Amino acid sequence: MVQSAAKDVDAYLAEAPEGRREVLSRLRRLCQAELGGFREGMAYGMPVYQRGGTAEIAFASQKQYISVYLMRGDVREAFAERLAEKDMGKACLRFRRPGSVDFELVRDLLRATAAAPGEVC
């Protein structure tokens, strides 16, 4: 499920593999709870959370992992120590198994993102 053609997040979650659906739903609930004032939508075939028309957070079910996209460099820098041991791309935090998603870390990243606007990469 690399790039979904789903029109909304409900449809995206419905087409997700059974073993990942609950984790992805939990990520969605966490985003909805922590990202007040953000608009949920679909872009690039995945759920995104936008403020002022700019996507700052996204998540996706990739072939080999579940990813959380952190588009704010300032947030990534602020959490550099906690992210150092994680599987990270430029803006992508990857979890190889659904059971390995660190929801506490994701919650903290979301709260930091929501606290103030910033530049996206």
pLDDT by residue (tens digit) across 71-109? Answer: 999 999 999 999 999 999 999 999 999 999 999 999 999
Q: How many CB atoms lie within 10 A of CB 94?
A: 16
Type of residue numbered 47: P
For residue 81, the model assigns a pLDDT of 95
106: three-class secondary structure by DSSP: helix
pTM metric for this prediction: 0.93
Q: Is residue 2 very low, low, confident or very high in pLDDT (cuts 50, 70, 90)? A: low
Residue 121: which pLDDT band, with cuts at 50, 70 and 90?
confident
pLDDT at residue 3, as a whole number: 72
Residue pointed to by tokens 């994680």: 86
pLDDT of residue 1: 45
Q: Three-class SS string for 21-45?
A: HHHHHHHHHHHHHHCCCCEEEEECC
Of residues 80 and 118, more confidently modeled: 80
Q: What is the CA radius of gyration of the chain?
A: 13
For 47, the 3-state DSSP assignment is strand
Instruction: Give the helix, strand, coil percentages of the chain, each rounded to 5.
Output: 40, 25, 30
Q: Cα(70)–Cα(92) distance, rounded to whole angstroms?
A: 6
Helix H or strand E encompassing 104: helix 103-115
Residue % of the chain over a pLDDT of 90: 82
Average the pLDDT over 55-75 and give the result: 95
Query: Distance from first CA to last CA of the chain, Å, rounded?
Result: 24
